[in-house]
């Protein structure tokens, strides 16, 4: 299923744009963030609090499994399905009560583990037993410094930068092998690959990506080729991909995990750096992750995760992406520090996002409550919340988790 590049990225991207409709390692050694000067932003449409998405196709009778499942969910269950809550990969059972109480849609296994495949399989299966609906189980297994599982049965993966510089065959085979190992223990989503392009002139001065060599290259055309290889290699092996961090973190000089000053003053709707994301979309990636940086020329008023022009206008409508849209961490990230916890979830869903990621288990309660309250007070938001839950359920069905046996 490996696609070959037959046109330059600029042509491919312009055709698509014209024709279509975390857990990074904690460290104190990352370079200090330096603020970027902001040029006058180009005019941008104001964000809508509850964007109107294209209606889902009317199902034929009998209703499809996603619709039948969605129709059975009440307000609390709708809110829970759009939450992915973090838990230690070494002790996931501690999240069991939260899974049951808040009807969680997914869990994120964070940290680093040297446990065996058997131990991890048992832990994940135990957590699944606590859920009324099967959980999307995710982690960061990129390679290099960002590799959650390093125990027996999980070989060390080279950095993306090294893999991107090698052959497509090596990249495909490495991805397939790693994904098969993840699928065998019950992981359904890998929060990868990184589709960000880091310019060679910036390199390690880019704290979130370049410093850790998480990029597949400094040329968006070459990065796009890597993404075309990785997405089918992983998904054919049973693990959905999430291309990240839309619309790109490769040019920022601060890390959203540790700073509120991550800004890309270059990105526009015609940015060549969108090319790798377009490649991921065209390859059928199960998910796209939204960054928490600012992009003044796309939306001068909000970070990407809270921006309807970016999430709905650019990704959903202009690029035509119909899969799962999830956030980067909205819990511990410093970039979100000024926003009340519950409102982080509300603003992301209102902007057009589907799955809220937070690494903090304590965030489940305020986020669920805020989503329920907003849905009760705002019919348009309740419709948007149901649409977000539909995307989560569709991802579960695609992952083989959702069943409606008659």
**Inter-residue contact 356 to 333 (CB < 8 Å):** no
Asked if pLDDT for residue 289 goes beyond 80, the answer is: yes
Asked if pLDDT for residue 360 goes beyond 70, the answer is: yes
- Report the alpha-carbon distance of residue 326 to residue 191 in Å, rounded: 10
- What pLDDT is stored for residue 4 in this prediction? 33
Which tens digit of pLDDT belongs to each residue from 77-133?
A: 999 999 999 999 999 999 999 999 999 999 999 999 999 999 999 999 999 999 999
Which tens digit of pLDDT belongs to each residue from 117-127?
A: 999 999 999 99
Asked if pLDDT for residue 166 goes beyond 50, the answer is: yes
Question: ∠ CA(384), CA(72), CA(136), 5° rounding?
Answer: 70
- CA 277 distance to own-chain centroid: 12
Asked if pLDDT for residue 27 goes beyond 50, the answer is: no
Q: What is the largest CA-CA distance in the chain?
A: 59
Radius of gyration of the chain (CA): 20
Considering the chain, what is the average pLDDT of its residues?
88
**Inter-residue contact 100 to 123 (CB < 8 Å):** no
- CA 179 distance to own-chain centroid: 17
What burial letters (b/e) apply to 154-185, b meaning 16+ CB within 10 Å?
beebbbbbebbeeebeebbebbbebbebbbeb
Distances (CA, A) of 133 to 82, 295, 360, 397, 401: 12, 36, 21, 11, 8
**Inter-residue contact 65 to 400 (CB < 8 Å):** no
- Considering the entire predicted model, what is its pTM? 0.85
- Report the alpha-carbon distance of residue 67 to residue 80 in Å, rounded: 17
Class of domain 79-398: alpha beta
Beta strands 146-147 and 141-143: pairing type?
antiparallel
- Report the alpha-carbon distance of residue 156 to residue 191 in Å, rounded: 17
Place of tokens 């859920």: 131
- Report the alpha-carbon distance of residue 321 to residue 238 in Å, rounded: 21
Among 26-35, 73-82, 139-148, 206-215, the minimum mean pLDDT is found in 26-35
Domain boundaries, the chain: 79-398
| Count of beta carbons in the 10 Å neighbourhood of residue 307 | 28
Backbone angles phi, psi at 82, to 5 degrees: -95, 15
Which is nearest to 106 in space by CA: 403, 340, 399, 405? 399
Q: What number of residues does the chain have? A: 406
């Amino acid at each position: 299923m490996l696609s070959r590049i037959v046109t330059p990225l600029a042509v491919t991207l312009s055709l698509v744009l014209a024709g279509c409709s975390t857990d990074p390692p904690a460290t104190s050694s990352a370079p200090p963030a330096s603020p970027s000067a902001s040029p006058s932003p180009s005019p941008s449409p104001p964000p809508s609090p509850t964007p109107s998405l294209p209606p889902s196709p009317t199902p034929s009778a009998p209703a499809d499994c996603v619709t039948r499942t969605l129709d059975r969910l009440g307000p609390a269950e709708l809110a829970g399905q759009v939450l992915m809550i973090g838990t230690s990969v070494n002790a996931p059972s501690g999240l069991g009560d939260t899974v049951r109480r808040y009807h969680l849609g997914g869990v994120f296994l964070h940290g680093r583990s040297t446990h065996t495949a058997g131990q991890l399989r048992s832990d994940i299966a135990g957590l699944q037993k606590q859920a009324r609906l099967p959980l999307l189980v995710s982690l960061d297994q990129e390679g290099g410094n960002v590799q959650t599982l390093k125990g027996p049965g999980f070989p060390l993966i080279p950095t993306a930068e090294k893999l991107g510089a090698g052959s497509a065959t090596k990249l495909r085979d490495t991805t397939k092998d790693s994904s098969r190992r993840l699928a065998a223990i019950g992981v359904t989503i890998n929060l990868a690959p990184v589709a960000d392009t880091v310019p060679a002139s910036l390199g390690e001065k880019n704290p979130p990506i370049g410093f850790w060599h998480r990029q597949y290259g400094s040329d968006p055309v070459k990065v796009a080729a890597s993404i075309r290889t990785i997405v089918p290699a992983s998904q054919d092996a049973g693990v959905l991909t999430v291309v990240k961090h839309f619309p790109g973190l490769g040019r920022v000089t601060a890390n959203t995990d540790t700073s509120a000053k991550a800004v890309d003053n270059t990105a526009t709707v015609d940015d060549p750096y969108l090319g790798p994301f377009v490649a991921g979309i065209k390859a059928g990636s199960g998910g796209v992750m939204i960054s928490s940086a600012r992009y003044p020329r796309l939306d001068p008023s909000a970070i990407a995760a809270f921006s309807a022009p970016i999430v709905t206008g650019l990704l959903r409508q202009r690029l035509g992406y119909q899969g799962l849209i999830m956030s980067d961490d909205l819990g511990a990230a410093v970039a979100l520090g000024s926003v009340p916890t519950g409102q982080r979830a509300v603003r992301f869903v209102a902007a057009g996002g589907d799955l809220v990621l937070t690494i903090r288990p304590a965030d489940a309660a305020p986020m669920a409550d805020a989503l329920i309250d907003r849905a009760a007070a705002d019919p348009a938001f309740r419709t948007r919340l149901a649409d977000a839950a539909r995307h989560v359920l569709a991802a579960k069905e695609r992952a083989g988790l959702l069943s409606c046996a008659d």
